[in-house]
Amino acid sequence: MHHVPHYVLTPRTFLFSHYFYTGLRIATGIVGLAWLTYALAGLPSAMAVAIGALCTSLMDLPSPLRHKFNEMLAGVLLCSLVALLVSLCSPVPWLLRTVIVLVSFLASMMVVYGRKAMPLQFVALFVMMLSSEEAATPLQALRHGALFFAGGAAYMAYAMAVVWLLQRRLKQQVLAEALYELAAYTGIKAGCYDVANALPAQMEKLVRQQSVLAERQQASRDLILRGRPAPDEAGLVQVHYAMFDLYELVLATHTDYALLRQHFAGGPVLPLLGDLIGKAARDIESVAYAMTRGRWSQPSADYRPELRALDEALRRLRPDERGSAEAQAVLRATSNKIRETIAMIARLHAAGAAPQDTPPMMAPDADLTPFLTQQRYSIGMLLANLRWSSPTFRYALRVAMAISVGLFSSEWLPYQTHGYWTALTIAVVLKPSFSMTRQRRADRLIGTLIGCLLTAVILRFVHAPAILFGFLFAATAAGPAFLSIKYRYTAIAASMQALLLIGLTVPHAGAIQERLLDTLLGTVIATFFSYVLPSWEYQDLPRLVDAVLEANRKYVDAAAALLLGRSGDDFHYRVSRKQFMDSLATLSAALGRMLDEPAAKRRAPEELNRFTVQNYLLVAHMAALRLLLRRYAAQMPRAEVDALLERGFAQVGASLGPPSPHAQAHAQADAPGARTEGAGWQPLQRRLRLLEQDAAQVALSRAALGAALGGAR
């Protein structure tokens, strides 16, 4: 299940996104360095420098400056070492094969460091393939290694300088992407009011979008909150915090769809609610749209017609005509929350225009480390995974065996093959999970076929080097631009890039057909090895379910401390909520990958869907409870509210796991007389009741999953 954001593939937004800027930056750096070297030292040197720049550019990802420096430096040093080592071994076939197997294994072990290390793994494999293509003398190997290092180091210096100069622009683009995803999340919520949409399916879409939103919000945090912002970035910080406040409000606003559908289906109310939330989603998108163009947005959406119609519909409701008193109370509360959401979006519009001396919404001296991604690369983590039971170890063995078979097979083909094309296809297609391998396989095959056909047409009708060079630049820019959003386009661009380069340097009529055959061979080998020493998703599901439950318990404890006044601020609450959402996103992603695996390897998909949705609802109820207590703080006695909350949280804790002694003490205490008068009491009691019910449902789902996944442990 690969998420392709609609806004990225639309030209009016793609051309202002960081994806397009990254592709343009990379193409300018690689082609510029190659052109400069060609003018000074000739074609062979230019090719070696260009390959060094190309390999380093694969590590040129949107990251904080310090992280980017470390990642690119690691790429330059590691790849230069691999290039030198493989070139030195190239005259001795048995030694070369040994080094290839060793490098393939060690490079693939690096994925233990997470997704950020995957480009580094591919780059190491890529330069290994290129360096093993032709035998070289020691002097040639040293010269090749030096030129490769020069190209990588020069590109790194260029990229760091450009990103440093344009870092505010990059922050705008990454923050805008998070806002686009928040708009999509809000739009899915609008669809929950349409009775034509099945509610369970809509809630599953909501949870999937929540996972994507969490990822984009994390990227925004890492860039905007790390270090002290520059004076001209105060507006970005304000928008960032306003975005998270709006997210919490949207999360809390809509948790009662089933009750509203039950009592108001067929009337005017639900369409009006859906229209208002849909308009709010487009309003959030307008903030993102303006930000990608480097300007602050202005409120343009007019909610007044829908709000007037909603007020009129609410006035016409009578308890004996439409719905129970409880349903009408929920409807009115939902109407109030939508108004608050609209007001919060107005605040989001205004946040960007904040004066430069406006303090951030969180204390300037707050320790933001728990919110930021930490870059940790320890040798101990690598050594700890050198065991048979480690999925990373088994993946590294798969890659080493597959690449060895690929290089061996290419020697038996009936034409003058480029063996690295076969091995490179294996490196591209064979990924740690079966799901990713399956997706890459289709994209690589289709992309290569289209790229070969396009290049054949270009080379047939275009012969002017300057025009061919323009096509090469476009392909070089398109490859990285679509790498993480539509790999099929990257495969098209990579094929065109390689074939145009051959067409410009050493014209060879059979290159296109050979490229297709080598790609097909590599894909077949990668497909076969995806079943060798596999790591199926269901094997890790028990651990992920336990991690969600543990994060859930910590979140409930943090929420109880905040709402009962035991913590001075909401810092710990926000950290716990982030960790809970991250664990839920990890489980949801694993579920999505499992559904791409063979049917015999799937375990309890319906139960897992239910479990993720119910955990998500628990977070939404908690956010709604916090909002409710804020709204009615002055109308309810604190002591009685605390007593009610204590009992509710004790019940939730008992459902989710062994409650703490503190919770047990309160659970066993006698309950004071329930007080039902006052504006906030019935909503408070209802929200706590729903919270307890969902916690009980989470416990039931956990039990069902324990039975279904028992054999996976």
| Predicted pLDDT of residue 682 | 81
Q: State pTM to two decimals.
A: 0.86
- Nearest of 696, 692, 617, 698 to residue 648 by alpha carbon: 692
Instruction: Report the chain (713 residues): mean pLDDT per 10 consecutive residues.
Output: 62 88 94 90 85 90 86 90 90 88 91 83 85 81 91 95 92 94 93 89 86 89 83 86 89 78 86 93 94 86 92 78 72 87 91 60 58 74 87 93 87 66 86 88 91 89 85 92 89 87 63 80 92 89 92 92 84 88 89 88 88 87 86 79 88 74 41 54 84 88 83 50
Instruction: Check if the beta carbon of residue 684 is closer than 8 Å to that of residue 629.
Output: yes
Q: Count of CB atoms within 10 A of residue 80's CB?
A: 24
Shortest CA distance to 687 belongs to which of 618, 639, 637?
618
**Can you tell me the distance from the alpha carbon of 275 to that of 645, in angstroms, rounded to the nearest whole number?**
35
Topology, domain 171-364: Methane Monooxygenase Hydroxylase; Chain G, domain 1 (1.20.58)
Please give the pLDDT value at position 149.
94
- Burial of residue 144 (CB within 10 Å: 0-12, 13-18, 19+) is buried
If one counts every other C-beta atom within 10 angstroms of the C-beta of residue 97, the result is 15
CB contact at 8 A, 538 and 709:
yes
Three-state DSSP class for residue 539: helix
Read off φ and ψ for residue 531, nearest 5 degrees.
-100, 0
Cβ-based burial of 306 (10 A; exposed 0-12, middle 13-18, buried ≥19): buried
Q: What is the pLDDT at residue 661?
A: 44
For tokens 């949409």, the residue is 197
Domain residue limits, the chain: 1-165, 171-364, 390-535, 537-712
Q: Are 246 and 344 in contact (CB under 8 A)?
A: yes
CB neighbour list of residue 250: distance below 8 Å, 6 or more residues apart: 182, 185, 186, 189, 341
pLDDT at 508: 54
State residue 423's pLDDT score. 85
**Spatial CA neighbour of 547 closest among 582, 516, 499:** 582
Cβ within 8 Å of residue 12, ≥6 positions away = none
